[in-house]
Amino acid sequence: MEKVVLITGGTSGIGLALAEAFLAEGASVVVCGRSQTALDRFGQAHLQALAVRADVTAPEARAALLEAVTARFGRLDVLVNNAGTFVERDFAADDATAALDEEVELNLTAPIHLTGEVLRRWPSLDAVVFVTSGFALVSPTRAPTYGAVKAGLHGFADGLRRQLAPRGTHVLEVLPPTTDTPMNAGLDRPMLSAAEVATVTLDALRRRRPMALPGQTRLLPTMLRLAPRALGRRVAAL
């Protein structure tokens, strides 16, 4: 039986790469996003998929999204919490708290709410995926709140994994390095492709691993144990 997969923020970047990778494996895919233009573009390119306009920070939009999944497919097998935003904040220079609540809500609160709502509706879910970041383990100097919310999601995934283990639901955390996505379009440095992140993610799902560590993030756990100060200096330069 083909899997039904819901990907938040699935119309660009890592979310789009994941959607295309799942579709290539024969899954039924639902993506959501806030831009109708991006959703229309996705729908035209992937006629077999379902694209739903939804702001996952809004409770009524999340409920309508899950109703759309139910109406089309009757079930859900894999939830991918991918939607997020990256905001640079310099607390040493100015008032760095503008739109802080919106950042925390999209990156942390919304995926927790959506996960709970999905599990209440489909308690036998096969897998929950959280796309966090290598910055969940070492916070970036230029965006400390981004590191904070991703670390929070990392902690949530860790505890949820133990809670859901008895019912057989796989909880996977994906920690990509800086990836070639529209969010990072202005960066002048080598970046991993979103397609490679998707490949590593689907492999980790098949192997039911707790983490997917694409590219250079595969070295992070070891570096944190052996040389945490050196790693911190390296991240400070990013």
Q: In what order do the strands lie in the sheet with 127-131?
A: 50-53, 28-33, 4-8, 78-81, 127-131, 170-174, 211-212
| Residue 68 falls in the annotated catalytic set | no
DSSP state of 107: I
- Closest by CA to 118, choosing from 45, 176, 63, is 63
Nearest-angstrom CA–CA distance, 106 and 94? 23
Nearest-angstrom CA–CA distance, 59 and 99? 19
The angle that helices 144-164 and 110-121 make with each other, rounded to 10 degrees, is: 20
CB proximity list for 199: less than 8 A, separation 6 or greater: 21
Residue of 17, 146, 150, 175 marked catalytic:
146
Torsion of CA 204, 62, 85, 89, to 10 degrees: -130
The vertex-99 CA angle with 98 and 100, nearest 5°, equals: 90
Longest dimension (CA), the chain: 55
Token representation of residue 147: 């590191």
- By annotation, the residues acting in catalysis are 146
